[in-house]
Every structure is written in structure tokens, then in C-alpha cells.
């Protein structure tokens, strides 16, 4: 009997120990999972911090974060890691990989009901479509993002998305509409203290002014954007600003300073492995060489740029490079070969409704067809050129009006502030005089 009782107690004791061990193991697993989730979130933040200055480090941190998050089964961290990887692949031009990671993140945000995360992914997917010239798809995704941000009462989120809608307006040649989006977004983001958003808006306000011929005003806004980009150590945007400053100084007729800025931009972009940026810098170097009459070297730069744009499947960039190659061939007295490049450029530009490049192509096609003695086609292109030119000039007039109205409004605000200030000073002066008189009266009465 005693031995049976001993065995019974022993079994109970062992069972109790096993239960304690299981509970301890479960608690340890929970702690390890929590620790892995926290580490994954920390690695994601480190990836974001390094994103604009060290792409390789940023990519490594995001991949490490994803591995930890998947190991722990932490859905929020998995979604964030995929979102960050998507952004990085977008920057380096791997659009298919970017879209894959965005899709994974979108599904998880839907599953966990994270509207903020879902809105951000819609925004990023729209940007991806926009970069590939799929403007209608991009607009639809932006509208979905704005709808969620409005539902969340997130005015900053709405402003950031409207800024990108402004970019599509800019690409389509609707400069006055784009400028209004950029200005409205900037004012909201400035109030919110959102420096990255302010910087992007300033950069693109400058681009509108440069495109419409207000070069000095454009340079002023590029410099404002550069102050913020430098403060944020955002090398990606610093390179973009250098390139735009280079283009602006080229427009002003200072090719030497233009080339200095563009070369600085290209060096940063090569370090960042920014294929889109490299393509754009090569194109501007082509324009500078064209200005110097080095047409063969210019064509070489344009072909290098074209190769990157084709790799990135960027129809806007492809259309622009094809035009510039054709233009240099025309300068070199090879009109028939130039016409081939102009026709390819026009085909893409029509799909994108890219009015600036259509205008330039039509203008060169007039000259090229005259040189090959095809007067009928030259006349057709003259009519097309006049129609597009008039629509763009109307936009330029509207942009100038918006700038004048904005400057007048700012002037009125400054005058109002000064008026209130001087009114305040006047009031204090009157009070001061009264107090001094009162003090003198008191002192005189005491002497008596």
C-alpha cells in the first residue's frame, strides 16, 4: 500500500514538474517572440534612417528585420519589413520586386485591419505605377489612399497624396494645376512640421517655375529645398536638387556651372545605385554637350541614359531620350535618321499625353521634313506644333498669374503683420507716455 502511495505521489510530482516546465517554455517562447518582434521593428527603423544615405545598409537591415519578424510570426513587423523593402527596390529601379513586397504588405494590412498601413501601401503602389507612366492606374490608387486618409482625419496624409497627384498633372503638362497642388500641400505640411513633404513640394514648385521660364524663382526654391535635404542628410534628394540646379543654370546660359552641379549629382547617384537618377543625370550631361556643339558626345550620353530608362521601363524617359538623339542627328544633317527617332518619341509621348516633348518633336519634324522635301508632312506638323504650343503657353500664363497672386497675398499678410505690430507699438507708446506723466506728477507732488 505504501509503495503504491509513493508511486502515486511521484507521478503527481512529475506531472506537476512537467506542467511547470511547459508553462515556463511557453512563457520563454512568448518573451523570445516579443523580443524578436521588437528587434524587427528596431531594424526597420534603422533601415528607414539609412535609406537616403546608405542603400546597401538599409536593404540589409530591412531583410534582417523581415527574417526576424517571420520567425516570430509578428504580422505588423512582417508588413512593415515588406513595405520598406518595396520602397528600397523602387528606389533602385527593381519595380517587379517592389510591387511583390507591396502586395504582401497590403494583404497583411487588410488582414489585421490597419488602415494607416493600407493607405501608405496604396500610395506607394500609385507612385510605382506613376513612375512607369501608368497615370490612370496611379490616380485611382491615389484616390483610394486619399479616401482612407480623409476617413482617418489625417490632413498630412491627404496633403502628401495630393502632392503626388500634382506630379501627374505636371507630367501631363497641366502646370498651373500642378502648381496649385504643390502650394496647397506645402502649406499644410509646413503647419504640420513635415520637413520631408515640405522639401518635396518646394522642389517641385521650383520645377514648375523652371519649366515655365521663371528660372531665377526656380533657383530660389531649389535652394530652399536643398537646405532641408542637407539638414535631413537626404542624399537622394540632394542629388536631385543638384541635377535640377544644373539644368536651371544651363537654361540661364552658364554651362560650366551647370556641368559642375550635374557631375556632383551623378557621383552621389552612382554611390546610391540610383538607376533612375543616373539616367536623368546622363541626359542632362547630353544636353550640356549639345549646347557646346559636341553632338557625338551628346548622342553617346543620351544612348547611355536611354539604356537605363529601357531597363527601368520608363516610357517618359525613353520618349525624352529618343527626341534628344533625333535632335542631335538633325543638327548633324541626318534628317531621315532623325525622323525615325522623332516618330518613336512621338508615339510614346502621345500615349502619355506628354505635351512638352510633343511640342518639341513637332517643331523638329517641321524642319526635318522640309530637309527631305516632304512639304505636306511639314505642314501637318506645323499645325500640330501650333496647337500644342498654344495650350502650353496658356499654362505658362496661368502659372505666372498664380505666382503673382501668391506673392501679392504674401505681401498683404506681411503688411497686416506690420500693421498689427505698429498698432501694438503705438498702444504701448501711449501707455508709456501716460505712465511717465503720472510718475512725474507723483514726484512733483512729493517735492511739494
324-361 tens-digit pLDDT:
999 999 999 999 999 999 999 999 999 988 888 999 99
Give residue 41's domain range.
Answer: 1-110
Joined together, the cell numbers standing for residue 289 give 554637350
Q: Does residue 446 register a pLDDT over 80? A: no
Q: Is 401 helix (H, G, I), strand (E, B) or coil?
A: helix
What pLDDT, on the 0 to 100 scale, is given for residue 403? 73
Does residue 79 fall inside a structural domain? yes
Residue carrying C-alpha cell 499678410: 413
Does residue 67 fall inside a structural domain? yes
Q: Does residue 223 register a pLDDT over 50? A: yes
Structure confidence by residue, pLDDT tens digits, 144-181: 999 999 999 999 999 999 999 999 999 888 899 999 99
Q: Does residue 19 register a pLDDT over 90? A: no
Does residue 5 fall inside a structural domain? yes
The phi and psi torsions of 132 (rounded to 5 degrees) equal: -95, 10
Q: Does residue 71 register a pLDDT over 60? A: yes
Q: Which residues contact 183 (CB under 8 A, 6 or more apart)?
A: 201, 205, 402, 406
Q: What percent of the chain has pLDDT over 70?
A: 83
Q: Which residues contact 386 (CB under 8 A, 6 or more apart)?
A: none
Whole-angstrom distance, CA of residue 250 vs CA of residue 290: 11
* Band of pLDDT at residue 248, cut at 50, 70 and 90: very high
What pLDDT, on the 0 to 100 scale, is given for residue 24? 47
Structure confidence by residue, pLDDT tens digits, 28-67: 454 556 778 888 899 989 999 888 788 889 999 999 999 9
Structure confidence by residue, pLDDT tens digits, 249-280: 988 888 889 989 999 999 999 998 889 899 99
CATH number, residue 89: 1.25.40.10
Whether the Cβ atoms of residue 161 and residue 128 lie closer than 8 Å to each other: no
Joined together, the cell numbers standing for residue 92 give 533602385
Mean pLDDT of the 406-412 span: 58
Closest CA to 83 of 70, 102, 66, 58: 102
Give the count of domains, the chain: 1
Q: Does residue 434 register a pLDDT over 90? A: no
Whole-angstrom distance, CA of residue 260 vs CA of residue 363: 30
The burial of 222, by beta-carbon neighbours within 10 Å (0-12 exposed, 13-18 middle, 19 or more buried), is given as: buried
For the chain, the distance separating the N- and C-terminal CA atoms, rounded to the nearest angstrom, is 120
Q: Does residue 92 register a pLDDT over 60? A: yes
Structure confidence by residue, pLDDT tens digits, 279-324: 999 999 998 899 889 999 999 999 999 999 999 889 999 999 999 9
DSSP label at residue 53 = T
Does residue 440 fall inside a structural domain? no
What pLDDT, on the 0 to 100 scale, is given for residue 17? 55
Mean pLDDT of the 85-106 span: 92
Q: Does residue 444 register a pLDDT over 50? A: no
Does residue 9 fall inside a structural domain? yes
Whole-angstrom distance, CA of residue 121 vs CA of residue 395: 33
What pLDDT, on the 0 to 100 scale, is given for residue 426? 45
What pLDDT, on the 0 to 100 scale, is given for residue 421? 38
Q: Does residue 12 register a pLDDT over 60? A: no
Whole-angstrom distance, CA of residue 440 vs CA of residue 445: 9
Does residue 85 fall inside a structural domain? yes
Mean pLDDT of the 21-28 span: 50
Instruction: Give the total residue count for the chain.
Output: 448
DSSP label at residue 213 = T
Q: What are the angstrom distances between the C-alpha of 257 and each of 253, 285, 292?
A: 9, 12, 13
What pLDDT, on the 0 to 100 scale, is given for residue 27? 45
Joined together, the cell numbers standing for residue 447 give 517735492
Residue carrying C-alpha cell 533625333: 326
DSSP label at residue 241 = H
What pLDDT, on the 0 to 100 scale, is given for residue 431? 45
Does residue 52 fall inside a structural domain? yes
Whether the Cβ atoms of residue 90 and residue 98 lie closer than 8 Å to each other: yes
Does residue 328 fall inside a structural domain? no
How much is the pTM? 0.67
Q: Which residues contact 69 (CB under 8 A, 6 or more apart)?
A: 36, 37, 40, 77, 78, 80, 81
Whether the Cβ atoms of residue 145 and residue 112 lie closer than 8 Å to each other: no
CB count within 10 Å of CB 108 equals: 21
Joined together, the cell numbers standing for residue 351 give 500615349
For residue 166, give the H/E element and its range: helix 155-171
Query: To the nearest whole number, what is the mean pLDDT of the chain?
Result: 85
Amino acid at each position: 500500500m505504501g509503495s503504491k502511495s509513493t508511486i502515486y505521489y511521484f507521478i503527481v510530482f512529475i506531472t506537476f514538474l512537467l506542467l511547470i516546465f511547459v508553462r515556463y517554455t511557453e512563457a520563454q517562447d512568448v518573451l523570445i517572440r516579443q523580443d524578436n518582434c521588437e528587434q524587427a521593428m528596431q531594424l526597420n527603423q534603422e533601415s528607414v534612417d539609412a535609406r537616403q544615405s546608405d542603400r546597401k545598409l538599409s536593404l540589409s537591415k530591412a531583410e534582417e528585420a523581415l527574417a526576424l519578424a517571420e520567425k516570430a510570426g509578428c504580422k505588423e513587423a512582417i508588413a512593415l519589413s515588406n513595405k520598406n523593402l518595396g520602397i528600397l527596390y523602387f528606389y533602385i529601379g527593381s519595380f517587379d520586386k517592389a510591387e511583390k513586397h507591396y502586395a504582401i504588405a497590403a494583404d497583411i494590412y487588410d488582414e489585421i485591419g490597419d488602415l494607416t498601413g493600407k493607405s501608405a501601401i496604396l500610395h506607394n503602389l500609385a507612385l510605382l505605377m506613376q513612375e512607369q507612366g501608368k497615370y490612370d492606374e496611379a490616380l485611382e490608387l491615389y484616390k483610394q489612399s486619399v479616401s482612407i486618409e480623409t476617413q482617418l482625419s489625417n490632413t498630412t496624409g491627404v496633403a502628401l497624396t495630393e502632392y503626388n497627384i500634382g506630379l501627374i498633372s505636371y507630367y501631363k503638362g497641366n502646370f498651373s494645376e500642378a502648381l496649385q497642388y504643390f502650394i496647397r500641400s506645402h502649406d499644410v505640411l509646413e503647419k504640420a512640421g513635415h520637413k520631408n513633404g515640405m522639401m518635396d513640394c518646394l522642389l517641385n514648385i521650383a520645377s514648375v517655375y523652371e519649366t515655365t521660364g521663371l528660372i531665377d524663382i526656380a533657383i530660389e526654391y531649389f535652394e530652399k529645398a536643398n537646405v532641408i535635404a542637407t539638414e535631413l542628410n537626404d542624399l537622394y534628394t540632394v542629388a536631385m536638387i543638384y541635377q535640377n540646379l544644373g539644368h536651371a543654370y544651363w537654361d540661364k546660359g552658364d554651362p560650366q556651372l551647370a556641368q559642375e552641379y550635374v557631375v556632383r549629382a551623378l557621383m552621389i547617384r552612382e554611390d546610391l545605385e540610383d538607376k533612375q537618377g543616373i539616367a536623368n543625370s546622363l541626359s542632362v550631361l547630353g544636353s550640356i554637350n549639345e549646347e557646346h556643339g559636341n553632338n557625338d558626345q551628346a548622342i553617346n550620353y543620351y544612348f547611355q541614359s536611354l539604356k537605363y530608362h529601357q531597363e527601368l521601363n520608363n516610357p517618359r524617359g525613353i520618349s525624352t531620350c529618343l527626341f534628344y538623339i533625333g535632335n542631335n542627328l538633325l543638327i548633324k544633317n541626318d534628317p531621315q535618321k532623325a525622323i525615325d527617332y522623332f516618330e518613336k518619341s512621338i508615339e510614346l509621348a502621345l500615349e502619355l499625353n506628354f505635351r512638352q516633348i510633343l511640342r518639341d518633336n513637332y517643331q523638329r519634324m517641321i524642319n526635318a521634313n522640309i530637309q527631305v522635301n516632304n512639304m505636306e508632312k511639314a505642314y501637318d506638323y506645323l499645325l500640330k506644333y501650333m496647337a500644342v504650343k498654344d495650350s502650353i503657353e496658356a499654362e505658362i500664363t496661368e502659372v505666372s498669374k498664380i505666382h503673382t497672386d501668391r506673392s501679392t497675398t504674401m505681401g498683404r499678410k506681411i503688411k497686416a503683420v506690420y500693421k498689427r505690430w505698429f498698432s501694438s507699438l503705438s498702444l504701448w507708446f501711449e501707455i508709456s507716455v501716460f505712465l511717465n506723466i503720472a510718475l512725474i506728477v507723483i514726484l512733483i507732488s512729493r517735492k511739494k
